[in-house]
Chains A and B, each alone.
Chain A
Amino acid sequence: MTPPLSLHGVSVRYGDRPALSDVTWDAVPGLTAILGPNGAGKSTLLRAALGLVPATGEVRFFGRTLAEVRNRVAFLPQRASVDWDFPATALDVVGMARLPRLRRWWGRLPRADRDAALAALDAVGMADFAARQIGRLSGGQQQRVFLARALAQQADLFLMDEPLAAVDAVTERAIIAVLHRLVDDGKTVLMVHHDLSLVSEHFTDVLLLAGRVIAAGPVREAFTEDSVARAFGGLPRMMVA
């Protein structure tokens, strides 16, 4: 089967500093945690794959270039990367995912796209907040709006940058439920994550990074005390199952 995402010799430099060196990795359908210490290049990996930062090496989505399969790939950036005081409702934000499908760029969102956005909000338990200004949502609710925006794209591969960072318990449960549903539907979710305690319970695969690939594969094989120690420099051993 063609991997949903295939990286071959991908490297990224920020100025003089190498952020990611020679990453060769094939993603598999399921829920993959991208783990590593701060500065390990986790977010950079997602951004490089999407062409948002300059990178060398080869990136393939479903065996093709990103431009050929954009609608099959959804990106969920870190919540802190945008201004939540922006004059928009939850529905406005989720509707942005429908832009590539629009035939015109002015006026209101067409009915079908509006319905898709509402369905995505419903899927994350935010249907009642569709008309709420995003600045008036809690942090966890904002995170669910971001997840809904990714869902509204109706993609097959989801690249998520820390959607579980600093969220409340309700949001965490809602997001994890959505992730399991995506995996059951045969989708691929690659998620930058930092809480090692959740890995064994919820994820199928891991990619351990520390500027380069430390270990990759099914959780049972690749998420070992040894590989975690090598990625994190020996710190959080007790978190591994």
Chain B
Amino acid sequence: MIGHNTFVVLLGCAALGLAAGVVGSFALLRGRALLADAIGHAALPGVVAAALLAAALGGEARALGPLLLGGALSGLLGLWALRMLTASGRIRADAGIAVVLSAFYALGTVGLSVAQAIPGAAQAGLPHFILGQAATLTTGDALVAGTLALGAVGAVLALFQPLRALCFDEAHAAALGLPVRRLDALLLALILLVTIAGLPAVGLILVVALLIVPAAAARLLTRRLPGMVALAGGLGALAGVAGALASQRLPELPTGAAVVLAGLVFFTFALFLRRPS
């Protein structure tokens, strides 16, 4: 039997996988895959800081909202640091991402060991943010993550045509008068949103895979973007549910790993099926 909480968590993970597949499709085509990885890692110090702050203020360190907000803020800070590093053109994007990702992650890990020694903050379940643990999500957590994810899907669908034009040919889109800078910023914001929403369930190390693996599999099997987005969303949702179910049955198993392994199964199938002519 599946209990009410389990059911809500499954739905939340499905929504998250759906959003990751949909937003991830655009991230992949725009060459933003590694940015999602940087955001995920850069979120850790913010999550830890939010937990410490909540504990210091005598609040509920476990509350997901403030933790995700903290993560989003430090994720944004990471993006800003990356932009500053690469703006001069003297540091390449891949090197910049590696520096930002590891620096923020190291900072977060230090903060984590401090937080684990503080009674209030230690109960926030912070280690789950690293590898993900869907089974520990409450109904409210799943609703928060699921709502954020569905909001991201709605934004992508509402702006489908200009986002596609941006990803295919930015110069042409700009010449048409489309607001390419704002569209690009929006896409980045959606990647941030899905990455942060996915942290508690999938974990920061593997959340990038939830964005990219279903999208990469769908790209192999489709020849138009609407089909790719739909398939990536479907595969992402399936991977999310599979991971959450595995996490329920085997509490020792990190959800992130289960989700990604499920996604990789799809990807492997896609490699063999290839795209139709």
Known contacts A82-B168, A105-B160, A107-B160; A75 and B222 CB within 8 A of each other: no
* Contact residues in B for A82 (Cβ distance below 8 Å): 168-169
For the complex, would chain A's binding face be called helix, strand, loop or mixed by DSSP majority?
mixed
Taking CB atoms, residues of chain B closer than 8 Å to A100 are: 176-178
User: Which of B12-20, B195-203, B223-231, B248-256 sits within the interface?
Assistant: B223-231
Question: Is B225 a contact partner of A99 (Cβ separation < 8 A)?
Answer: no
Assess the B228–A87 pair: CB atoms within 8 A: yes
A75 interface neighbour in B158, B159, B168, B171, Cβ under 8 Å: B171
Whether the Cβ atoms of B174 and A52 lie closer than 8 Å is: yes
Whether B76 sits at the interface, judged by CB under 8 Å, is no
B181 at the interface (CB under 8 A from A): no
Given A70-B176, A105-B160: A133 and B223 within 8 A (CB)? yes
- Binary interface profile of B, 48-89, with partner A (CB < 8 Å = 1, else 0)? 000000000000000000000000000000000000000000
Interface positions, chain B 180-235, Cβ under 8 Å from A, are: 219, 222-225, 227-228
Min CB gap A49→B, angstroms: 10
Nearest B residue to A84 via CB reads B168
Residues of A within 8 Å of B, CB-based: how many? 33
A52 touches B171 (CB 8 A): yes
- The stretch from A4-12, A90-98, A190-198, A204-212 touching chain B is A90-98
- Contact across chains for A89 and B176 when beta carbons are under 8 A apart: no
Interface assignment of B111: CB less than 8 Å from any CB of chain A: no
Q: Decide if A77 touches B172 in the complex (CB within 8 Å).
A: yes
Bound form: Cα–Cα A179–B209 in Å: 47
Query: What string of 1s and 0s marks CB contacts (under 8 Å) between A61-99 and chain B?
Result: 000001100100111010001110011110011001101
User: Which of B167, B168, B172, B225 has the most CB atoms of chain A within a 10 A radius of its CB?
Assistant: B172
Q: From the candidates A81, A105, A107, A133, name the one contacting B169 in the complex (CB within 8 A).
A: A81
Shortest CB-to-CB span from B218 to chain A, Å, is 9
List of A residues within 8 angstroms of B277 by Cβ: 136
Decide yes or no: A87 and B161 within 8 Å by CB, A50-B175, A77-B172, A81-B171 being known contacts: no
Given the known A-B contacts A87-B223, A100-B177, are A105 and B161 also in contact in the complex, defined by CB atoms under 8 Å? Answer: yes
Further pairs besides A96-B173, A99-B178: 12, Cβ < 8 Å? A66-B177, A73-B175, A74-B175, A75-B171, A87-B222, A92-B224, A99-B162, A99-B165, A106-B157, A106-B158, A133-B223, A153-B176
Top 6 A-B residue pairs of the complex, sorted by shortest distance between their CB atoms = A75-B175, A133-B223, A70-B177, A96-B165, A105-B161, A82-B169
30 contacts between A and B (CB under 8 A): A47-B171, A50-B175, A51-B174, A52-B171, A52-B174, A66-B177, A70-B176, A70-B177, A73-B175, A75-B171, A75-B176, A77-B171, A81-B169, A83-B29, A83-B168, A87-B223, A88-B164, A88-B225, A89-B223, A89-B224, A92-B164, A96-B164, A96-B168, A96-B173, A99-B161, A105-B162, A106-B157, A106-B159, A109-B161, A133-B224
